[in-house]
Structure 1
Amino acid sequence: MENQQEEGANKRKLSLFDGIMLVMGSMIGSGIFIVSADIMRNLGSGYWLIVVWLITGVMTVAAAISYGELSSMFPKAGGQYTYLKEIFGKMMGFLYGWGLFAVIQTGTIAAVAVAFGKFTAYLIPALNDAAPIFQSGGYKITWIQILAIGVIIILTYINTKGVEGGKILQNIFTGSKIIAIIGLIILGFLLVKNNLWNSNMSFGWDAFKNLATDSSGSFLKSGWESISGMAIMGGIAAAMVGSVFSSVAWENVTFVSGEMENPKKNVVRSMVFGTSAVMILYLLVNFIYLNTLGRDAIAFAANDRVAVAASEQIFGSGIGTIIIAILVMVSTFGCVNGIVLAGARVFQTMAKDGMFFKAAIQNNKNGVPEKSLWMQGIWASVLCLSGQYGNLLDMISFVIVLFYMITVFGVIYLRIKKPSLERPYKTWLYPITPIIYLIIGGAFCALLLIYKQQYTWPGLIIVLLGVPIYLVINRKKGVISE
């Protein structure tokens, strides 16, 4: 461990500011501009729209605070993979790393890159109008998918040239989108002609009187007598799938701990400052939606693009669409860069542990894991072509939260099992903070298992497929047990 830290000390090029930019840039993609439509359709009230984002914010910051203790104890590249491996053993670490490569990291890269392509089509309508490059039955390859793959390849290539280039790109794009979002928030309050806040927020609990669930958990118009408290909670959990997915990827900064200056302090600071700032921005953006649009306009915005509808109310139909299209392009481009930069470090760390392709171990002459970057980029590109990135995202929110919960539980587990271990940073308000996350996360996962099983089992099955792969790898090494 000491040798790894000494080796890493020579290549620490990421400052606290870089870490915060990586957290914020990885979190803010396209979700905040879209998912509030689905939340409003599920819950039917501006009041509950804000409640969902508040719950998500509390979850996210509580997890980041809890992770801080582990980041100070294990300040090595690999982050969450390393924490799980050190606390619960190699298999748990491998299952997380396998899930990360198979769908979590690469699926996120694919989906956000495709979102970049879709919003680019606002500015270049020919992308939407062009005939598919290939089509067979329901499967097709479009120019938007090709553009998404191009973005992944370009950003992967830039990151192979050294951490410096990726860092500069990240800071420029993250800084730009933060400034743009703040500008949108300020102008949204100053320029809006019809303030709809009061009418949107007047419904509260009464909104549920018009909601009931069918057998799949989808809400339908019906009478109050047919809806139960559990069904309401199921609706909130289903609505949270989008907000949770929009608020993940902050842990990417733990993946690059080996390249952070003073990682025992700066990783936790990056996570706490970054997640708190993003969740405040998310709340303010939703205030703008509720200030400028009615409930139906939010719930049934064209293609769920609530931000476009709000911007058209603020700036006018032509310029509003262009402003949001450019903002989302900047946002998604920076988001893909942050996730590309960070993820490859996990697969390199896994390879060093004999849990991934050996080729991923070596750094190139620029001091970065080039082959690991390209493996990640190629698989993300395949997922773009699969056309299944949207389905993948639906089912990985559950898996992501499940791994978050296991990791947060690891903080409590280590406090009990190994109280004498050095902890340069201790979780604020322990044990309340990790328990808050475990309660909310546990309720979210349990309710999805009951009401939205299509969001749970597929992702879980993908992760569990890692068990036989792990056993095969260890049998070859002759080390089946720990």
Structure 2
Amino acid sequence: MDEENLRKRENNTGMKNGNRAPDKLELEDMTENEPKHVALKQQVGLISGISLIVGTMIGSGIFISPKAVLSNTGAVGPCLIVWSACGVLATLGALCYADLGTMITKSGGEYSYLLEAFGPIPAFLYSWMCIVVTKPSSFAIICLSFAEYAATPFYPGCEPPQIVIKCLAAVAIILITFLNSISVKLASYVQNFLTAAKLLIVTIIIVAGIVLIAQGGMLLMFGNECQ
């Protein structure tokens, strides 16, 4: 009887002759085989997140569009009026996005908003449109604009060849894709640097404009209309 009680105690404690009991081994094997929760590492900090949002909002249009707007309006004053009106519209759009972000607290951006408003089919079609058409097209325009500005100093007095612009744009696309593929932190550092440079350029433009206005440049803004 003493030996039987000892065996029962060994089985209950999960030990028998120095080995684990079979039922406990099966339980541990089942635990190890269970799928683990997969999640992305949080490698983007507060500064990098702010830099990403600011860099997305202040796109390349601020550096590309002024030439076309000025040529179509004919003077600096109407050009500034157009820019001010567009700024008001952009602010209204940003406020709408902020309101949607507080109402629908899901990841996915526009997909989540369209999913809540119109259902899965319009949200799915919009996502594929962004992946296949919208995002690649906007990225290509940004890289082409960068390549044109980068190649212009090397061709004074004439426009750069299209083959040079396209090759530079392709190199920029490959480089940015490579940076985002190898390391999230490295891509965030590059984003922080580019956002800081973008804000510095915009600040220089604003300060230069204020200085010119203070020196009497206000008369030149509406000069064509006053003649």
Per the normalisation by structure 1, the TM-score is: 0.35
Matches of 1:191 and 1:114, distance apart in 2: 31
Partner of 2:135: 105
Partner of 1:156: 177
Choose which of 146, 149, 153 in structure 2 pairs with 1:119: 149
The 5 Å alignment of 1:113-262 reads 113-125=143-155, 142-190=163-211, 195-201=216-222
User: Match of 2:152, as an amino acid?
Assistant: Y
What is the SS of the residue equivalent to 2:178? Answer: helix
Question: Would you identify which runs of 4 or more consecutive aligned residues in structure 1 move more than 6 Å?
Answer: 191-194
Q: What are the Cα deviations for residues 390-448 of structure 1, in whole angstroms up to 9, with x where unaligned?
A: xxxxxxxxxxxxxxxxxxxxxxxxxxxxxxxxxxxxxxxxxxxxxxxxxxxxxxxxxxx
Instruction: Say whether 1:18 aligns with 2:39.
Output: no
Distance 1:187 1:196, change over 3 A: closer
- Count of matched residue pairs: 190
**Residues 183-192 or 45-54, more deviating:** 183-192
Contact 1:81 1:94 in 2 (8 A): yes
Q: Determine which structure has more spread, i.e. the larger CA radius of gyration.
A: 2
User: Match of 1:147, as an amino acid?
Assistant: L
Choose which of 62, 66, 74 in structure 2 pairs with 1:44: 74
The 5 Å alignment of 1:6-405 reads 11-125=41-155, 142-190=163-211, 195-201=216-222
Runs (5+) with no aligned partner, structure 1? 1-5, 131-140, 208-482
Runs (5+) with no aligned partner, structure 2? 1-36
Q: What are the Cα deviations for residues 76-116 of structure 1, in whole angstroms up to 9, with x where unaligned?
A: 44211221123211221123222212322111100110111
What is the SS of the residue equivalent to 2:42? Answer: coil
Q: How far is the alpha carbon of 1:12 from its aligned partner?
A: 3.2
User: Match of 1:65, as an amino acid?
Assistant: L
Matches of 1:194 and 1:98, distance apart in 2: 52
Q: How far is the alpha carbon of 1:162 from its aligned partner?
A: 3.2
Matches of 2:99 and 2:212, distance apart in 1: 44
Contact 2:48 2:192 in 1 (8 A): yes
Matches of 2:171 and 2:192, distance apart in 1: 21
What is the SS of the residue equivalent to 1:11? Answer: coil
Which structure shows the bigger proportion of residues in helix conformation?
2
Distance 1:192 1:200, change over 3 A: closer
Distance 1:184 1:56, change over 3 A: closer
Matches of 1:176 and 1:164, distance apart in 2: 18
Q: What are the Cα deviations for residues 331-370 of structure 1, in whole angstroms up to 9, with x where unaligned?
A: xxxxxxxxxxxxxxxxxxxxxxxxxxxxxxxxxxxxxxxx
Q: RMSD value over aligned CA atoms?
A: 3.3
User: Match of 1:109, as an amino acid?
Assistant: F
Q: How far is the alpha carbon of 1:31 from its aligned partner?
A: 2.4
Matches of 1:182 and 1:118, distance apart in 2: 23
Contact 2:151 2:160 in 1 (8 A): no
Contact 2:64 2:145 in 1 (8 A): no
